[in-house]
Amino acid sequence: MNSDRADKREFRLARLGWLSRTIFAVSAVAGLAFVAGFGLFADRIGRLETPSDPPGADAIIVLTGGQFRLDAAVELLRSGKGQRLLISGVNPVARDSELKAVMGADDRLFSCCIDIDRAAIDTVGNAAESAKWVNEHAYTSIILVTNNYHMPRSLLEMRRLLKTTDVRPYPVVNSRLDDGSWLVKPDAVRVLFTEYTKFLTALARSPFAGGPEQAAQTRSANAR
């Protein structure tokens, strides 16, 4: 009887040990994959360059978040690279006069060719509001302007909703990341790591996300 109990106890211990080793092995592999993925992501970002003379498109969309983004988008509009410009994610309290001053856009350009989206509060919202705007104007091609580190996730969200629209990336590069110097810059590492985790989250939910309506619902739920 005691022998049976000892055998069962030994079996349970052996099973527990196997389970622990399996969990450790899986965790180690997942951790290595995560780190390797981050390295590939950072390398991809570092290789992005701002096009010197991109081909024209029907319209231009810029996602707020930096002065250089707005400057680049307005310059594309002025140079005839798009018919209209949508600025997505503008702070609801920002006045048009303040935007004009920041962008250096005159009244004529602002009134004829620039639309403002104040509803979007994140990248998912940017994509949803942009998709509505693109569909309303029946545009078939757009230039997407945002920072290089933000471009992969922005493209993923945009292309998920604009499946038949040619979305052309225009990454804005504020500082070079292709020489590896970002590894010794804590702020750069933090920005890249944060964006990488957000990109993985967007990638994970992408196959299950619906159209603009579902995106809006997801954005509302995330805001709560």
Number of domains in the chain: 1
Q: Is residue 17 part of a domain?
A: no
**What angle is formed at CA 146 by the lines to CA 120 and CA 57, rounded to 5 degrees?**
95
**pLDDT per position as a tens digit, 129-149:** 999 999 999 999 999 999 999
Q: Is residue 146 part of a domain?
A: yes
Q: Is residue 122 part of a domain?
A: yes
- Overall residue count recorded for the chain in this entry: 224
Q: Give me the domain span that covers residue 143.
A: 59-223
**Residue 29 C-beta-side C-alpha neighbours within 13 Å:** 6
Contact 168, 54 (CB under 8 A): yes
**What value does the mean pLDDT take over residues 11-31?**
71
**CATH number of 174's domain:** 3.40.50
**What value does the mean pLDDT take over residues 88-113?**
85
Q: Is residue 159 part of a domain?
A: yes
- The confidence band for 185, taking pLDDT boundaries of 50, 70 and 90, is confident
Q: Can you give the pLDDT at residue 63?
A: 97
Pairwise CA distance, residues 110 & 188, whole Å: 34
Q: Is residue 106 part of a domain?
A: yes
Contact 154, 61 (CB under 8 A): no
Indicate the pTM of the whole model. 0.80
Q: Is residue 80 part of a domain?
A: yes
* Residue 9 pLDDT greater than 80, yes or no: no
Q: Is residue 16 part of a domain?
A: no
Q: Is residue 44 part of a domain?
A: no
Mean per-residue pLDDT of the chain: 83
